Structure 1
């Protein structure tokens, strides 16, 4: 399994709105199209954490392909009032908000 972690800023009071947007999005075929196996959203003191799990490391390629889908474009626009880049000065795309894994362990 492969995971991505996106870090951004979010007002904690927006969590219900963000969850509702992703709930509707995840009821479509988009997660399957992007290779998403599981999505988890977390908030902590004004920070937003978006964990997306994939069966393999092709998730990034599939997401790139899905970016032109109107549903992907719509959720990206719908999230803008709630999710702000962690560092607006350096943010150009979601890849700029991707945390880098530096350790991993799994039980046998």
Structure 2
């Protein structure tokens, strides 16, 4: 997809940009290149991978990568584990004191 000079000037005006002639030509080529790439991405058929745990790869295709992250689930601790943890922890005003995270 290519843009003519009139369209580039219109886009620049909408963006409140003052472009030189060389910039108009350069940006016209760059915008065309970007839109060609978006058009290529638009042509990828995602329907065939629906429901199969597939992800888009950086190359623009569909790969067989699987999600390896586990769900963050709360695990119940026994009273003995809690007491053992608290006996080793440094307490301040009844709270466990930990090192600063950020």
Asked which structure has the greater RCO (Cα within 8 Å, sep 6+), the reply is 1
- TM normalised by structure 2 equals 0.22
- TM normalised by structure 1 equals 0.21
Higher percent of residues as helix: 2
